[in-house]
Structure 1
Amino acid sequence: MRNQGVGTWPFRSSRRDPEATAIVFREQGISYRELDERATRLAHALADLGLERGDRVALLSANHPSYLEGLFATGLLGAVLVPLNARLTAPEVTYALRDSGARILVHSAELGQVAVASAEEAGVQTRVVVDGAPDADAVGYEQIIAAAGVERIDRDVSHDDACFIMYTSGTTGNPKGVVLTHGGVTFASMNPIVDLDLRSDEVSLVAAPLFHTAALNYISLPTILKGGTVIIEEGFEAGRILKVIEERKVTYSFGVPTMLDAMSAHPDFASADLSSIRRWIVAAAPVPPRTLHTYTERGVNLCQGYGLTETGPGALVLTPKFVESKLGTAGVPQFFTDVRVVDVDGVETKPGERGEIQIQGPNVMREYWNREDATAAAFVDGGWFRSGDVGVRDDEGYITIVDRLKDMIISGGENIYPAEIEAAILEYPGVVGCGVFGVPNDKWGEVGCAAITLAPDSTLTYDDLESFLNGRLARFKIPKSMVLLEEIPRNATGKIRKDRLRDMYSTPEPV
């Protein structure tokens, strides 16, 4: 085949076992033969709508098989998929459509209001409606698939060609489009296959958003590559996920800490049968020790990982063999990836010393879309990607994620890392969520403030918090104030929006 890209994966997998179940969605199975046919038909349909090599197709929807079918179809044509965060507002979607230059917008009927307004504002002429009836100015996803041809498509697509553009969370400024190539996605998918010893009988659960790389490149695509089954959930609901794990005998999944905490807090957690789970990755935010221990007690060894959209996402992983002995670390570099920790001068730190985590490998992004300056600033020393995260390695090479450089609080000349403080606060009975951020202070320049959410009927005063942290943390690390919130602002991956917290509570407090 001339096409060496991701688009050929359904066909290649169907050659092994065409009737094996590739995807389960709303209790309905799609075989590898059917997935291959649907991706081929969709590719023909998109070409009939005018899509050409290199063109971009944006997708705006809750979790749906169209994410995978769209990726494979655009890959067959040498076009580029642009998955968009389903929680974006119309102006945010408009920005991404304009920035990517998308020719076609595929969107769910449920998000039609945002999609229609954004497409009109951005000048996108063609819309395809998935998971619902199309409006008068759009065409239906299932209709165009049913009407399209099934002739095999084999175009020249190499590992160097762009596969998809995924926009970063955009916690500061406009989000940047991360360009991952077909080769980058292939190596990103191979990393968990090798390091986690994934099998052809995996039953992989996707409840995290498919518009992020973890659900797409770390769970779904590796499973397809191995010939396993991907169970796609439209969203996350703790009780529902526990039920699916038990009924479908789920073996592999990914979740952010808040998802895992919600599951463990559910009344069904204690009785749920979790024995089928072989691998469960937890990443995307600092993982409290409480969360790790809760699952260990249930016989589920959480494999902590670390990565970014720009690294596709895998950079570090804690393999199952060392989950208990290295509990709390993010592990070692993935098989096809190199990771180093360096000081401000770019010199590798010694064990126990903190520094910036930098990543190099074939899974790392090619560029930021149309952002030459940002791309140049992101790489140093001939190809090392600057993560902006602080880490520390031990004498065996295991790296612990300390915090984001930009979230570090500098108070009276001392560097304070919020993740350490958050882990301590989460040990307080009744605390279910915590985000520590810096606020201006006349004396110290900056001090910590803790945003906290409590379980029902729980109470907490600042004096209680201060007393609890005394002896657990150095005095300069203890937040000088706190706010009790019903909900801590987070983005779609569960990361706390500390920029919003700083904006909301930035009034200096005298101490």
Structure 2
Amino acid sequence: MFLQRVGNKGIQLGTVFDRAAARHPANPVYLDHDLDIAPELGRRITLTEIAGLVDDTASRLWAARVRPGERVVIHKSDNFDISLLAYSVARVGGVPVLLSPKLDGATVARLLQRLGRPTLLTDQPKLESELPAEVFELAERVLVATGEFPGATSLAALAGAERVSPVTMPQDLPALITHTSGTTGLPKLAVQTGHTIQARCRPQSVLLAPVGRHEPIAVHVSFAHSRMISGVALFALRGHPLILLRDDDPERAAELFARVPPGVIESHPNTLLNWETLAKHPAKPLARVRCFSNTFDAIHPRTVETLLGASERSMPFFAQTYGQSETGAIAARTYTRKHRAGADGRCVGVNFPGLTEMRVVSRDGRPPTKENPGRIEARSGGQIVTYLGEEDRFDNQFSEGRWWQMGDLGYRTKLGCLHLLDREVDEIPGISSTLDIEDKLFTRLPELLEVIIVPGAGGAPVPVVCTRDDRPLDLARWRGAVAGLPELAEPVQRRLDDLPHTATTKIKRLELARQLNTPQDEAR
């Protein structure tokens, strides 16, 4: 297996594409957008071309005085070159710090303060319209990947810089810093090493075992997410052609998938839900998919059934993983057509033997059950090593025995399957699982694009619903769908784009609840 060949050397991010290109020089990477830093390469790029681009960019960074061990914040307009810049920083021994392009300027400035005068690698649009002027005081230097800006050094001006040899850093040192989703406040800065990044590849390698290496893998994941960095590295080294999407618009995805049929699709649950419409698309963009995979969050059974039904492969399967930014994938389960109907969406599967561990701890001395869930805890080789600048907060997340507290509630069945019921902070008294209710509503109302149940000011849980094409909710159908469920307040309909989202498309439930419970005059 690939991971056995890597051994204990870590993933060595800076030379990933050199090694991938040496094995599969002509393997293509298809994009739905042009690279900001190299638009001339077009939207079909070989691994050899990407290796050359990373090498050239790394040389420009070295010419800009980026040195081994230095933190380099990458915060630029949304593009796959965010990930490529991270590999380039690693190539000169720096530590890439990926901040989502969706973060607002004030949040970026606060995180720069926590990082202790790092280099900031951004672009002209961010500096002109989003980032505050204080970033020049908070950073050791400011580089722009594209364009120009007063006081910043342009990478374009460093074209032709002498190529430098890749720097090999000890793999137990920080190798990558990303941020958490920020669903409960200011994002935390999660630190990984070469060893933890490699450990995160192992579960994915297990899930890909039934998939041939010739199968193209389509990925729509935030380019600033740690999953993108480890996933692209693994997929490229295995030899898969890659399809990388910035836009999750179903029509644009359909056009690309019809032209380059994927054998594997990996994305966030909300994106896969949005792509349910592709199941009936006349171009049959999902016909060749062997494996669907979602990252880190449980997915609704309706989405699983719809997508599996769209594949024309003889034995397609859906691989669902459960984990978080701090741990990587902890547990997984697979669905097939055989048991998709009536599947329990709260079941997120079992741990990866020898790679991850999990347990559910009672909160009141009674055994955790569906009616009385306990706290989910995990251990993993992919565990981050700290929260930068918040070491005490990191240490407090562990219970006795160095078990990481996931912040989720659930229980385990007699067969060992983990059932995820709610985030602790989202628990609503009197409801055993808001996620379970949402699953049922999705199944009963195919027109729903999103439904989120949050606590209301008057006590009754409030369902916030979004429909396809923003069509008005049929209240008669709604009343039929909620029959037999715990009592809910009247539904509140919103446009999906108007809901507060994290960088990985999750809904910020606490913020949404605050919005609903804030009087209109105060909101202004």
Instruction: Please say if residues 168 and 178 of structure 1, whose CA atoms lie closer than 8 Å, have aligned partners that are also in contact.
Output: yes
2:65 counterpart of 1:56: no
CA distance, structure 1, for counterparts of residue 85 and residue 286 of structure 2: 32
* Structure 1 position 86, deviation (Å): 0.9
Of 320-329 and 421-430, deviating more is 320-329
Match of 1:306 in 2: 322
Match of 1:174 in 2: 186
SS at match of 2:339: coil
Instruction: Please say if residues 86 and 98 of structure 2, whose CA atoms lie closer than 8 Å, have aligned partners that are also in contact.
Output: no
* Structure 1 position 349, deviation (Å): 4.7
CA distance, structure 2, for counterparts of residue 143 and residue 3 of structure 1: 35
2:509 counterpart of 1:498: yes
Match of 1:8 in 2: 15
CA spacing shift, 1:122–1:436, aligned 2, 3 Å: farther
CA distance, structure 1, for counterparts of residue 202 and residue 84 of structure 2: 20
Instruction: Please say if residues 254 and 281 of structure 1, whose CA atoms lie closer than 8 Å, have aligned partners that are also in contact.
Output: yes
RMSD: 3.0
CA distance, structure 2, for counterparts of residue 407 and residue 163 of structure 1: 33
CA distance, structure 2, for counterparts of residue 65 and residue 468 of structure 1: 41
SS at match of 1:92: helix
What is the aligned counterpart of 1:437 among 454, 469, 480? 454
What is the aligned counterpart of 1:421 among 437, 442, 449? 437
What is the aligned counterpart of 2:277 among 229, 247, 265? 265
Q: Structure 1 vs Structure 2: percent identity of aligned residues?
A: 20
Of 427-436 and 361-370, deviating more is 427-436
SS at match of 2:517: coil
Match of 2:522 in 1: none
Query: Which letter maps to 1:425?
Result: L
Match of 1:392 in 2: 411
Match of 1:19 in 2: 26
What is the aligned counterpart of 2:348 among 322, 330, 354? 330
Match of 1:357 in 2: 376
* Structure 1 position 332, deviation (Å): 1.8
CA distance, structure 2, for counterparts of residue 49 and residue 3 of structure 1: 29
2:157 counterpart of 1:139: no
Query: Which letter maps to 1:437?
Result: V
What is the aligned counterpart of 2:236 among 208, 224, 246? 224
CA distance, structure 2, for counterparts of residue 3 and residue 258 of structure 1: 35
Query: Which letter maps to 2:57?
Result: L
CA distance, structure 2, for counterparts of residue 357 and residue 186 of structure 1: 24
Match of 1:459 in 2: 473
CA distance, structure 2, for counterparts of residue 253 and residue 127 of structure 1: 36
Match of 1:486 in 2: 495
Query: Which letter maps to 1:381?
Result: E
CA distance, structure 2, for counterparts of residue 143 and residue 348 of structure 1: 64
* Structure 1 position 432, deviation (Å): 2.7
CA distance, structure 2, for counterparts of residue 78 and residue 371 of structure 1: 24
Query: Which letter maps to 2:103?
Result: L
* Structure 1 position 121, deviation (Å): 5.5
Match of 1:35 in 2: 50
Query: Which letter maps to 2:488?
Result: P
Instruction: Please say if residues 350 and 416 of structure 2, whose CA atoms lie closer than 8 Å, have aligned partners that are also in contact.
Output: yes
For residues 378-432 of structure 1, the C-alpha deviation after alignment (integer angstroms, 9 at most, x for no partner) is 112232211111233223222232121111101xxx3432111222222235433
Instruction: Please say if residues 296 and 322 of structure 2, whose CA atoms lie closer than 8 Å, have aligned partners that are also in contact.
Output: yes
For residues 36-59 of structure 1, the C-alpha deviation after alignment (integer angstroms, 9 at most, x for no partner) is 333233233222222222211111
CA spacing shift, 1:309–1:122, aligned 2, 3 Å: farther
Match of 2:228 in 1: 215
For residues 466-507 of structure 1, the C-alpha deviation after alignment (integer angstroms, 9 at most, x for no partner) is 453222x2xxx2213332223333222221221122212237
SS at match of 2:221: coil
CA distance, structure 2, for counterparts of residue 370 and residue 38 of structure 1: 33
Give the structure-2-normalised TM-score: 0.84
* Structure 1 position 284, deviation (Å): 4.5
CA distance, structure 1, for counterparts of residue 366 and residue 122 of structure 2: 47
CA spacing shift, 1:10–1:215, aligned 2, 3 Å: closer
What is the aligned counterpart of 1:242 among 229, 234, 254? 254
CA distance, structure 1, for counterparts of residue 224 and residue 123 of structure 2: 14
* Structure 1 position 434, deviation (Å): 1.0
CA spacing shift, 1:360–1:242, aligned 2, 3 Å: same
Give the structure-1-normalised TM-score: 0.86
Instruction: Please say if residues 74 and 98 of structure 2, whose CA atoms lie closer than 8 Å, have aligned partners that are also in contact.
Output: yes
* Structure 1 position 142, deviation (Å): 4.8
CA spacing shift, 1:453–1:338, aligned 2, 3 Å: same
For residues 277-305 of structure 1, the C-alpha deviation after alignment (integer angstroms, 9 at most, x for no partner) is 22221244442222122112213533222
CA spacing shift, 1:14–1:422, aligned 2, 3 Å: same
Of 23-32 and 48-57, deviating more is 23-32
CA spacing shift, 1:99–1:122, aligned 2, 3 Å: farther
2:420 counterpart of 1:404: no
SS at match of 1:44: helix
SS at match of 1:416: coil
Match of 1:366 in 2: 385
Unpaired runs of at least 5, structure 1: none
Give runs of aligned pairs for residues 77-226 of structure 1, distance below 5 A: 77-101=92-116, 103-114=118-129, 116-117=131-132, 120=135, 122-130=137-145, 132-144=146-158, 146-155=159-168, 157-197=169-209, 199-217=212-230, 219-226=231-238
CA distance, structure 2, for counterparts of residue 8 and residue 377 of structure 1: 35
Query: Which letter maps to 1:265?
Result: T
SS at match of 1:330: strand
Instruction: Please say if residues 298 and 322 of structure 2, whose CA atoms lie closer than 8 Å, have aligned partners that are also in contact.
Output: no
* Structure 1 position 460, deviation (Å): 3.6
Query: Which letter maps to 2:172?
Result: D
Instruction: Please say if residues 244 and 250 of structure 1, whose CA atoms lie closer than 8 Å, have aligned partners that are also in contact.
Output: no
CA spacing shift, 1:207–1:168, aligned 2, 3 Å: same
* Structure 1 position 363, deviation (Å): 0.5
CA distance, structure 2, for counterparts of residue 448 and residue 331 of structure 1: 28
SS at match of 2:54: helix
Query: Which letter maps to 2:199?
Result: F
Instruction: Please say if residues 192 and 385 of structure 2, whose CA atoms lie closer than 8 Å, have aligned partners that are also in contact.
Output: yes
SS at match of 2:326: helix
Query: Which letter maps to 1:129?
Result: V
Instruction: Please say if residues 169 and 491 of structure 1, whose CA atoms lie closer than 8 Å, have aligned partners that are also in contact.
Output: yes
CA distance, structure 2, for counterparts of residue 351 and residue 457 of structure 1: 35
* Structure 1 position 166, deviation (Å): 0.9
Unpaired runs of at least 5, structure 2: 1-5, 35-41, 520-524
